[in-house]
Structure 1
Amino acid sequence: MKKVAIIGAGISGLFIANLFKKNLNYQITVYEKNSSTDTEGGYGIQLSVNSVKLLNQIGFDKFQNDKKFNPDKINFYSIKSSNKICDLNISDFNSEDCKYTTLRRSDLVNFLKTDLGSLIKTNHSISKIDQENQKIKLTFQNNENFECDYLIISDGVFSKSKNLISNNKAQPKYNNTLALRGMITSSSKIDRKNISLFLGPNFHYVIYPVSPTGDFNFIAIMKYNLSINEQKNYSLFSDENFVKGILDNIPSEMKEFLNEVKELKIFPVFVSDDFFKTKNNNIQFIGDAFFAFPPSFAQGASQSIEGAYELFKNIENNTEKDFYKNRVNKTKKINIRSKFNQFAFHLSNPLTKNIRNIFLKRLTKNKKFLESYLGKIYR
């Protein structure tokens, strides 16, 4: 029986643990640095059909319907005029059993950890990774050791495990944007059935339902320059004066929604600068530890799930050496789309905005374009 260690109990780590649990040839242990796997209340995520199909293999199709939602469209709005530009029917990519889904991240995490129980070890922060012969030896800050055949690293964009292996050569970079996120419990101004995307100069924000009961996720991405010292000062984003300064500069059109947002938090967006490959094929990265995208294509969670599934199948078929190349190819396509979306969403020149809006109206109804831009990713 092969021993598999998974570092990080996020979406990708928990999903691949569920897959390994079904194969009796593997013994798995999930290590989480925090004291629990509980996540913050209601912040939402979007799952396109590529990830829902994979989640259904572990019972997601039976997951409570009152804790997930299936929007039909993405409605695009110009924030300055609040006029609707166009809409994109994302349900065109659905099948009977796999539909575009929105839900709270915490609900998905709770679903993923349900059958793992004692396989998850909390309060385990990695301090050393040694590769001896064919075995991988892990040492944790509590002085506990573990020896495994496969090491799967899924501890996020600031992966400590990745830093240990790369000697701190694989650092993420600041994306020159801040994310503002929170929840809206009810509002008469919000489309209750679809995703609403508002485009403004140097920022955009998205509101979408995360359940049939009227709870909505709010996420805004705005351009904001931070000094190197500010990027490293994580306490800055809890400082009342700093937060007030950011909120004071938010466009008035967005403030009408911000007044209704609960649990508002602000944090800097970091993305991956490049890919990192280990020399040992028995050590692999998934999720944001593999690569973190700009949050403008709503594929972070879906690609964490998809990448985890690909790695599981590679290990199961003894083809783990192929995982890196295949995942890089798919990741590059998504990264290009994410960067392009952010650029297009944040246009500020009136002329280029008008041109963008004209193209949006045409392209969102062009089936050939949509199949190439979205279908190749969603499926």
Structure 2
Amino acid sequence: MKKIVIAGGGIAGLATARILQNQGYDIKLIEKQPEWQISGTGLYLPSNGVVALDKIGLATTAREKGFIIDYRNIKNAKGEAILDLDLEKIWGREKPCLGIKRNVLHDILIDGLNTIDISFNTTIKSLKANPNSVAIELSNGSKEECDLVIGADGLYSKTRNLILGDIPLRKVTAQVCRFIIKKPRDINSWTLFISTVGQFLIIPIDKDSAYCYVNRKTKGFKTFDKKQYMEPFKKFASPVPEILNDWNPNDAYWNDLEELPKLPIMGSGRVVLIGDAAHGMPPFMAQGGALALEDAVVLSGLLKNEDWSTMAYTFSKNRSNRIDWTRARNQKREKLSKLPYWIAKLGLKKVGEKNWTEDYRPLAETPNW
């Protein structure tokens, strides 16, 4: 029985483990945290991610536990419509997109991992790739010889560092804020408020909860006192002020947005990088989770028929067009997000639907999985 070591227990690692377990491999999953520690925020999963979940056999459960998103509504600070998008039309399928709590999706992926050997508080200390195997030493002192290593250990991947060296990330935006709230009664779609001060996004993630993503505009990488961060947004239309009445900065998740440069090959030989370890990018296209799920589906399919000694190259060749498209469109969205508000507003009104449809058209085409 072929042995596979998966580094990282996030969306990419767990989805891959879930599929490969069912294919009969000997799977060892290692996770650097001492226990499951999932960010207490939400996730917006565009339709290509939901299709990947369907392929894994988990989309029905995710839809039941999450919130189906079929519209995107963009408004100004007064709550007046700038752009309304019918996502069923853009994606060409019913019940296209999904909002869900990260820990709920995590639990859905874990449920059923019956034969996986999971080691917490563990990372790969060193690895050596041989023609027919990979010899690894783990941080707990144990040594393993396996047929394949899958690096699913995120944007700051230790596995990537071991095989490709230190690759500096590009800082994109400083200090974005994410948090979960009680779902406002009238918010039943992906709803974004924009103005000169920034963006306030609300996404339902189940019938009772919503996920907020807030990005305050600034010059350069200036940061604000967390208690003062939301002050300009208190003048926005309802339900934003009501949300902020109960908001506590200590209950929010704060981080900078960074991007991993394109890797010529996502791994090396029998060591394959997936998810953010391979193509981490900021969430302008909201494709982090979706691409991670796609990676799991594609890689598991390739393992059935392809030579494992060149799996990193084979995987990269199969994924590069889709990922490169997403990266290019993501960078375009990044530039648009930094335009003066009046230009962005005008552009959204005139060509917003056209651009949005073009951005996602290749991703809306379901690959031959």
1:210 to 184, 187, 205: 205
| Residue 345 (structure 1) aligns with | 337
Distance 1:28 1:324, change over 3 A: same
Are positions 1:355 and 2:354 aligned together? no
1:330 to 2:318 alignment: no
Does structure 2 conserve the Cα–Cα contact (< 8 Å) formed by 1:294 and 1:335? no
Q: Is the 8 A contact 1:73 1:194 kept in 2?
A: yes
Give 1:143's aligned amino acid. Answer: G
In the TM superposition, residue 103 of structure 1 has moved relative to its aligned partner by 0.6
Residue 85 of structure 2 aligns with which residue?
88
**Superposed displacement of residue 349, structure 1:** 5.1
After superposition, the Cα gap between the structure-2 partners of 1:122 and 1:215, relative to the gap in structure 1 and judged at 3 Å, is same
Does the 8 Å contact 1:200/1:346 carry over to 2?
Answer: no
Q: Aligned pair in 2 of structure 1 residues 123, 276: CA closer, same or farther (>3 Å)?
A: farther
Distance 1:242 1:55, change over 3 A: same
1:139 counterpart residue number = 137
Backbone CA RMSD of aligned residues:
2.6
Structure-1 residue corresponding to 2:2:
2
Q: Which residue identity does 1:78 align to in structure 2? A: N
Q: Which amino acid aligns with 1:357?
A: L
SS in 1 for 2:268: coil
Question: How far off is 1:141 after superposition?
Answer: 1.7
One-letter amino acid matched to 2:347: R
Supply the distance in 2 between the matched residues of 1:163 and 1:126 (Cα, whole angstroms): 11
- Partners of 2:197 and 2:232 within 8 A in 1: no
Q: For residues 146 and 222 of structure 1, do their structure 2 counterparts lie closer, same or farther at Cα, with a shift above 3 Å needed?
A: farther
The corresponding residue for 1:56 is 54
Q: What's the CA shift string for 1:65-100, capped at 9, x where partnerless?
A: 552111220001123x3311120011232545x631
TM-score (norm 1): 0.84
Report the equivalent of 1:73: 71
Q: 1:294 to 1:162 in 2, by over 3 A?
A: same
Give distance in 1, aligned partners of 2:298 and 2:181: 35
1:317 corresponds to: 305
Asked if 1:172 is matched to 2:169, the reply is: yes
Match of residue 112, structure 1, among 109, 112, 124 = 109
Identity of aligned residues (%): 23
Query: Does structure 1 conserve the Cα–Cα contact (< 8 Å) formed by 2:164 and 2:267?
Result: no
Change (3 A) 1:185 1:289: same
* Correspondence list, 1:1-379, <5 A: 1-24=1-24, 26-41=25-40, 43-63=41-61, 66-79=64-77, 81-92=78-89, 93=91, 95=93, 99-117=96-114, 118-168=116-166, 170-187=167-184, 191-201=186-196, 203-212=198-207, 214-224=208-218, 225-226=220-221, 242-244=225-227, 246-247=229-230, 252-253=235-236, 256=241, 257-261=243-247, 263-277=251-265, 280-318=268-306, 320=311, 321-348=313-340, 350=342, 352-360=343-351, 363-364=352-353, 366=354, 371-379=357-365
> Cα distance 1:64–1:292, how it changes in 2: closer, same or farther (>3 A)?
closer
Aligned-partner Cα distance in 2 for 1:84–1:345? 18
Q: 2:279 is paired with a residue of what secondary structure?
A: coil
Matched residue pairs, number?
353
Q: Report if the CA contact (8 A) 1:7-1:31 is conserved.
A: yes
* 1:244 counterpart SS class: coil
Does the residue aligned with 1:36 lie in a helix, a strand or coil? coil
Gaps of 5+ in 1: 231-240
Deviation digits for residues 163-220 of structure 1 (CA, Å, limit 9, x no counterpart): 122221x2222113322000111435xx4321101223363231011012x2100012
Amino acid at match of 1:204: Q
2:296 is aligned with what amino acid? Answer: A
Q: Give unmatched runs, 5+ long, in structure 2.
A: none
Q: d(CA) in 1 for partners of 2:326 and 2:245?
A: 33
